[in-house]
Amino acid sequence: MQPEFIIIHQPAPHVAHIQLNRPEALNALNLQLMSELKEALRDLDADEQVRAIIISGNEKAFAAGADITQMAGKSAVDMYNIDQFSTWDAIKKTKKPLIAAVSGFALGGGCELAMLCDMIVASETARFGQPEIKLGVMPGAGGTQRLTRAVGKALAMEMVLTGRFISAAEALQAGLINRVTPVELYLEEAVKLARELSAMSPLAVKMAKEAVLKAFDSSLDEGLHFERKNFYLLFASEDQKEGMQAFIEKRPPAFKGK
């Protein structure tokens, strides 16, 4: 079935772009949108032609959070049974690099979705925030954890407890995002970054991503051990031979993902 709330583009060879497309609700992440996003990511992750994936919204909103109208009347038991975060767990398993291209609002689940991505390119108009506290709840899709790891306790505590939005400039300074561009260039910049990644060995990129993420839930020793295993494993790839031979022969490498 054709998805209703996302559009998939191919802005460059080996680069896929999923655009969240529920503009009338500022791309609020209802269950169907999240399910479509999960399925698209699963398919793109399995597609050998794709090496990097961009997720964006539109200029006004990346996403203004989980859909409040869908949640408002639910009980704890309903929420438990709906188990919306299993979708997030599936998205987290994406092996290829994910770049969030953020313009306008990235709030609540929108900020959490951007943080679940591996890198964030933002327009100058981007606003990041975890305003759930103003709804009588708190972040539920990783906001208290990923935000704190990215920006540290002081700012994370302030954002989560007061709901204050931060600008793209503040997010850049705090280490939440990678780049800021004028609004007309943020998608172009995300595609540029995705093209850069897609020129690398896709296997090395996936294993390196896995190892960086390991740093967030392991001790230093465990993380180093994991890193070493992935490093050794890459010596089983044709891409390692090609990458090193190309360096020696002073030519650009042609990686195949094998």
Pick the catalytic residue from 57, 65, 104, 109. 109
Site string for ligand CAA, 19-38 (x = CB under 6 A): ------xx-x----------
- Side chain identity, residue 159: M
Give 137 or 233: the residue with its C-beta nearer to ligand CAA: 137
Note whether 105 binds ligand CAA by CB under 6 A. yes
Q: Which of 36, 108, 116, 187 binds ligand CAA (CB under 6 A)?
A: 108
Is residue 91 near ligand CAA by the rule CB under 6 A? no
Q: 66, 101, 117, 204: which one contacts ligand CAA (CB under 6 A)?
A: 66
82 binds ligand CAA (CB under 6 A): no
Question: In the beta sheet, which residues pair with residue 98?
Answer: 53
- Provide, rounded to whole angstroms, the least separation between the CB of residue 249 and ligand CAA: 50
170 assigned to active site: no
Indicate whether 65 belongs to the interface with ligand CAA (CB under 6 A).
yes
Q: Which residues contact 63 (CB under 8 A, 6 or more apart)?
A: 20, 26, 27, 28, 29, 57, 105, 106, 107, 109, 110, 113
DSSP-assigned letter for residue 4: S
Q: Is 109 a catalytic residue?
A: yes
From the candidates 36, 112, 189, 227, give the one annotated as an active-site residue. Answer: 112
Q: Return the ∠ at Cα 246 (arms to 241 and 247), rounded to 5°.
A: 105
Indicate the length of the chain as a whole number: 258
CB of 140 to ligand CAA, least distance (A): 4
66 catalytic? Reply is yes
Question: Phi and psi at residue 38, in whole multiples of 5°?
Answer: -60, -45
Minimum CB distance to ligand CAA, residue 63 (Å): 8
SS3 3: coil
> Which residues are near ligand CAA by CB under 6 A?
25-26, 28, 64-69, 105, 107-109, 112, 131-132, 135, 139-141, 143
Catalytic residues: 66, 109, 112, 132
